[in-house]
Every structure is written in C-alpha cells, then in structure tokens.
Amino acid sequence: MIDSNFISKCKNIFGAENVLTEKADLITYSYDATPGIPREIPGVVVFPENTKQVQEMIFLARQAKVPIYPRGAGTCLSGGPVPLNKGVVISFQKMNKIIEIDPDNLTATVQPGVIIADLNNAVSKYGLLYPPDPGSMATATVGGSVAENSGGLRGLKYGVTKHYIMGMEIVLPTGEIFRYGGKTVKNVTAYDFTSLFVGSEGTLGIITEIICKLIPTPKYRKSMIAFFDKLEDAGKTVTDIVRAHVIPATLEIMDKVTIQTVENYAKAGLPTDVEALLLIEVDGMGKDSVEWEAENCIEIIKNNNGKFKIAETDQERDSLWAARRAALPALAQVKPATILEDATVPRTKLVDMLVSIQKIAKKYNLLIGTFGHAGDGNLHPTILIDPLDKDEMERLHKAVDEIFDVALSFGGTLSGEHGIGIAKLKYLKDEIGRSGVETMRRIKQALDPDNILNPGKLVPMED
Ligand SMILES: Cc1cc2nc3c(=O)[nH]c(=O)nc-3n(C[C@H](O)[C@H](O)[C@H](O)COP(=O)(O)OP(=O)(O)OC[C@H]3O[C@@H](n4cnc5c(N)ncnc54)[C@H](O)[C@@H]3O)c2cc1C
C-alpha cells in the first residue's frame, strides 16, 4: 500500500525533488496517447537518475506489494505506461544521458530516457544513423521504443528497433541487475535476450541502459509522391516495386479520407480527388544505384496509371514528408478523439485490407482515415469519434473487432508496431492461441513471481 511511510521511503531513495504526490501532477501520469482505455491515478511518480535507485524502488515495491509502471515519454498507442492501480509510475525523463558514441564499433550506449531524435542528432556528427524512426521520434524515448519494439517510416529497408539493439542493462522484477550483450557484432551466448526484452512492454524488467547499433548515413536520397485514381493501382505499385527488387527506405500510403483531411489542415497542395497517394524514398551510398531505383519506381508508377512528382530540392522533400507526418494530427482535429489501430497484413493483402476497412467504415457509419507503412503492410486505420456519443462508441467497438478479425483472416497480425498493452489484450488469444497465452504467462510468472511490473499489460493473467 502507498501510505506516508512509503512516500517518505521514496523521498529517501530519489530525493524529495524527484517524487511527485500532488493530485494535479499525478493525473498527468495516468495518461498516454491512447483514448478510451481504463486508467487509474498513480499513488506516486518517481524520477530515477541511476540504476541503483531503480533497484531500490523495486525492493521497496516488492516489500509493499505495490505495482510499478515504467514510463518514457507517454506517447504509447496501446496503453503501455498507464497505471491500472494506485501504484508507482517510474519515469525515465531524467535518466537521459548519451553515455558513449563509439564510431569505430558503430554503437551508442544510452540511458533509457534519451529522446530518439536527440540520439540521431548526436550520432549525425559522426555521419552515423540510428534507423528506427517512429512518427513520434521528436518526443519518444529510446527506452520506451525498445520496450514497444517500435517501427517507423524506414522499416521496409532498415527494419525496426529490435534490429538495432545489441545489449542492455535490466533491473529484473526481483531487483537483480542483469547485463547482456555488448559491442560485438556477433553474440550467440545464452538465450536471445534481445528477443525476450525488446517489445516486453515493461512487463519483464526495467531497462536502465541500452547499447544501440548505428549505421553509416546514406549519402543520397530521392523522394517522390504518386497519385492514383484507384486503390488497386496504388497497391499493385507497392508489390511491383518490391518484385522489381527495389527496396525503398520508405513506402507510405494515404487513402482519400486522409488526403482530404491533411489538405484541409496543412494546405500541402495535395489533389483531393484521388483515391490514394504513395510517398516513396529511395536512398543509398551510390548516386547511380539510387538513380536506378528511382527510375524503376517511376516506371512502375506509370505502368499502374499513377501520376507522380519528384522532390527536386531538400525543401520540396521536407514538405512531402511534412504532409505524411501531418496525417495523424490532421485526422485528430476532426473529432474529439481518434482511435489509431495498427493491424498489419502481408504486403500482397494491402488492397484487400484497405477495401475491407472502407466496407467496415460504411457498415458502422464511422469516419475512418487510413494511412501507414504500405511497404510493411502496416496500416493505421484511424477512427474519428466522439467518446460522449454512446451509440458511436458501440459502433466503434464492433468496427475494431471486425478490423482485427479481417487482418487475422488475411494472415496478418494485431499489431505491427504499437504493441498490445491494454488496448488489444482481449484479442491476443485470437492470434497466438491458448498455448501461446499460456507460454506468455509462464514466462511472466518465472521472471516476475509477484506480478509487480506493469501488471495487466501484454499478458492476460486470466481467461
Ligand atoms: C503521433 C504519434 C506517432 C507515432 N508513430 C509511431 C510509429 O511510426 N511507429 C511506432 O512504432 N510507434 C509510433 N507511435 C507510438 C509510440 O510513440 C511508440 O510506441 C514509442 O516508441 C513509445 O515511446 P515512449 O518513450 O513514449 O514510451 P511510453 O509510451 O512512455 O511507454 C511505452 C512502453 O514502454 C514501457 N517502458 C518505458 N520505459 C521503459 C523502461 N525504461 N524499461 C521498461 N519499460 C519501459 C512502458 O511501460 C510502456 O509499456 C506514435 C505515437 C504518436 C503519439
């Protein structure tokens, strides 16, 4: 239980200036970026500055049987850092040092609270890049994105967070400190702990240090935008590009509702009468190979009845990407709340999924704008709703059930990058089956026998 004795012990560990107890402050930490989920106001929020404090917090929480909710920047879209009980929110806002950049080993060692964009600004001075780039990279932390295994706009060519984590320091739910991995390119010692802890959504351990893999920044880039009167043509362009063995760094799609909303919001000069647009960027170290890839893309766009525009200057390229990054903020201003899903299907099922989403929108009389990482088959159907409209909320829940149903029937997955958290917990069994859920429970119980770390997320403890 969190009482005055517990709070004073927290102040002893962290210093009074790193402990929040005022209700107005606590309410802030009961939210992330996910609307319409259960939440509880935490009993206390603490800001560690080192691993030892995290360890002491775990010992204290275990003794008092109080749950701990780890938190980065709170941009999660599945309810990951949101407290479900009067527990402790442990925020990594102040554990935000870049410990080392090692250009010879192509690594950066960071504390979990480092903002992803800050890491990239720092390594860019060495001509290096940390590729995972969620749309939230200007605010999201490396720790939060490791715990979510976040993707981003460069996923098709460069992969996602798990591909760039070489080692970690973790405080386990028992309070033990566990370090694995390092700067070696190869390491097959023991179980593959990266696969276990990356994407564990704060349920198996608290990440206190991360060794990230870096790559040389590609020297050349070419960006283009393509417009299509038919969704089918846009979808075929995506598969044709990959079939031609061109792997763009970025291959993004927006449907008509999203294009119209972005244009209305950002006045980016997008045509509002087309069914879909693709944003494509090819990059690499060789000018000729980048040109070859761009020419191939243009040929394929033309063959699929698309119109296109190439960004000739950096400014033009930036405005193309600004239009893409405006998708969510633009949709979000239409109604009081947005439900952003990330159902993902094999690339060849992209159009079938888009058409199904349109049918679901019509069936339930909902406004759904869809955009996303077309090259990854990772779509973000964004449902615009008014949470006070009871009838609309009922239709919303039915529509979301159906979206996941359809995605799974196409051989897809519940989440390409936003995680399960609380938001998708009830669907987990539909994808991984009873034995999958049982396996997850066993892993959780083995590592966190008292169930104190982010309980109620990712692992359904009851049927
Ligand atoms: C506008 C917008 C765009 C987005 N675009 C993308 C996108 O393109 N791709 C994508 O994948 N996601 C995207 N997201 C989702 C979100 O930004 C990512 O999941 C992000 O990486 C979360 O980072 P965070 O620091 O905000 O973590 P939080 O939201 O604070 O936490 C996320 C999870 O990590 C856990 N956690 C945090 N720190 C630690 C730690 N030190 N140790 C253990 N567990 C920890 C939390 O308990 C929680 O379960 C977007 C969100 C928004 C609002």
- Residue 115: per-residue pLDDT: 98
The pLDDT tens digits for 130-172 are 999 998 999 999 999 999 999 999 999 999 999 999 999 999 9
Percent of the chain at pLDDT > 90 equals: 92
Task: State mean pLDDT over 448-460.
Answer: 97
Name the token pair of 292. Answer: 């070859």
Query: Is the CB of residue 330 below 6 angstroms from any atom belonging to ligand 1?
Result: no
The pLDDT tens digits for 33-52 are 998 899 999 999 999 999 99
Name the token pair of 31. Answer: 């939210």
- Residue 385: per-residue pLDDT: 94
Evaluate whether 41 touches 23 at the Cβ level (below 8 Å): yes
Distance between CA 272 and CA 286 in Å, rounded? 36
Distance between CA 310 and CA 34 in Å, rounded? 36
- Residue 19: per-residue pLDDT: 98
Could you tell me the pLDDT band of residue 303, with boundaries at 50, 70 and 90?
very high
Name the token pair of 370. Answer: 């869809």
Could you tell me the pLDDT band of residue 14, with boundaries at 50, 70 and 90?
very high
Catalogue all structural domains in the chain, each as residue range(s) with its CATH number: 4-91 (3.30.43.10), 103-216 (3.30.465.10), 220-327 (3.30.70.3450), 335-454 (3.30.70.2740)
- Residue 407: per-residue pLDDT: 97
Query: Is the CB of residue 140 below 6 angstroms from any atom belonging to ligand 1?
Result: yes
Evaluate whether 87 touches 64 at the Cβ level (below 8 Å): no
- Residue 325: per-residue pLDDT: 83
Mean pLDDT of the chain: 96
Which sign does the torsion angle of CA 357, 361, 366, 371 carry? positive
Ligand 1 center to residue 422 CA distance, Å? Answer: 14
Under DSSP, is residue 415 helix (H, G, I), strand (E, B) or coil?
coil
The pLDDT tens digits for 345-381 are 999 999 999 999 999 999 999 999 999 999 999 999 9
- Residue 278: per-residue pLDDT: 97
- Residue 412: per-residue pLDDT: 97
Under DSSP, is residue 381 helix (H, G, I), strand (E, B) or coil?
strand
Query: Is the CB of residue 146 below 6 angstroms from any atom belonging to ligand 1?
Result: no
pLDDT at 314 over 90: no
What are the residues whose beta carbons fall under 8 Å from the beta carbon of 135, sequence distance 6 or more? Answer: 152, 153, 325, 328
Task: State mean pLDDT over 106-128.
Answer: 98
Query: Is the CB of residue 202 below 6 angstroms from any atom belonging to ligand 1?
Result: yes
Task: State mean pLDDT over 64-91.
Answer: 97
- Residue 152: per-residue pLDDT: 92
- Residue 319: per-residue pLDDT: 86
pLDDT at 94 over 90: yes
How would you classify residue 391: left for phi > 0, otherwise alpha for psi between -120 and 50, otherwise beta?
alpha
- DSSP-derived secondary structure letter, 116: H
Query: Is the CB of residue 371 below 6 angstroms from any atom belonging to ligand 1?
Result: no
**Residue in the structure block whose two tokens are 């939230």:** 136
Could you tell which of 32, 57, 76 is best to mutate to test the pocket of ligand 1, judged by most ligand atoms within 8 Å of the CB? 76
Distance between CA 61 and CA 59 in Å, rounded? 6
Comparing C-alpha atoms, which of 292, 303, 387, 288 is closest to residue 337?
A: 387
Distance between CA 43 and CA 195 in Å, rounded? 32
Query: Is the CB of residue 73 below 6 angstroms from any atom belonging to ligand 1?
Result: yes
- Residue 322: per-residue pLDDT: 85
What are the residues whose beta carbons fall under 8 Å from the beta carbon of 142, sequence distance 6 or more? Answer: 110, 112, 113, 114, 115, 116, 119, 210, 212
Instruction: Write the burial class of residue 204 (CB in 10 Å: 0-12 exposed, 13-18 middle, 19+ buried).
Output: buried
Could you tell which of 30, 50, 77, 89 is best to mutate to test the pocket of ligand 1, judged by most ligand atoms within 8 Å of the CB? 77
Query: Is the CB of residue 209 below 6 angstroms from any atom belonging to ligand 1?
Result: no
pLDDT at 320 over 90: no
Task: Indicate which residue's Cα is closest to atom 15 of ligand 1.
Answer: 76
pLDDT at 202 over 90: yes
Could you tell me the pLDDT band of residue 190, with boundaries at 50, 70 and 90?
very high
Please give the residue that has the higher pLDDT: either 42 or 343.
42
- Residue 50: per-residue pLDDT: 98
- Residue 432: per-residue pLDDT: 97
Helix 314-325 crosses helix 256-266 at what angle (to 10 degrees)? 110
**Residue in the structure block whose two tokens are 């994407």:** 199
Task: State mean pLDDT over 16-39.
Answer: 95
pLDDT at 96 over 90: yes
What are the residues whose beta carbons fall under 8 Å from the beta carbon of 404, sequence distance 6 or more? Answer: 341, 343, 414, 424, 427, 430
Could you tell which of 139, 148, 169, 420 is best to mutate to test the pocket of ligand 1, judged by most ligand atoms within 8 Å of the CB? 148
pTM score, two decimals?
A: 0.96
pLDDT at 77 over 90: yes
- Residue 345: per-residue pLDDT: 97
Could you tell me the pLDDT band of residue 235, with boundaries at 50, 70 and 90?
very high
Evaluate whether 448 touches 440 at the Cβ level (below 8 Å): no
Name the token pair of 238. Answer: 């995506």
Task: Indicate which residue's Cα is closest to atom 52 of ligand 1.
Answer: 136
Comparing C-alpha atoms, which of 349, 461, 345 is closest to residue 404?
A: 345
Q: Which amino acid is at 339?
A: I
- Residue 269: per-residue pLDDT: 86
Beta-strand relationship, 128-129 and 215-216: antiparallel
Query: Is the CB of residue 33 below 6 angstroms from any atom belonging to ligand 1?
Result: yes
Evaluate whether 43 touches 428 at the Cβ level (below 8 Å): no
Beta-strand relationship, 378-385 and 367-373: antiparallel
Ligand 1 center to residue 306 CA distance, Å? Answer: 35
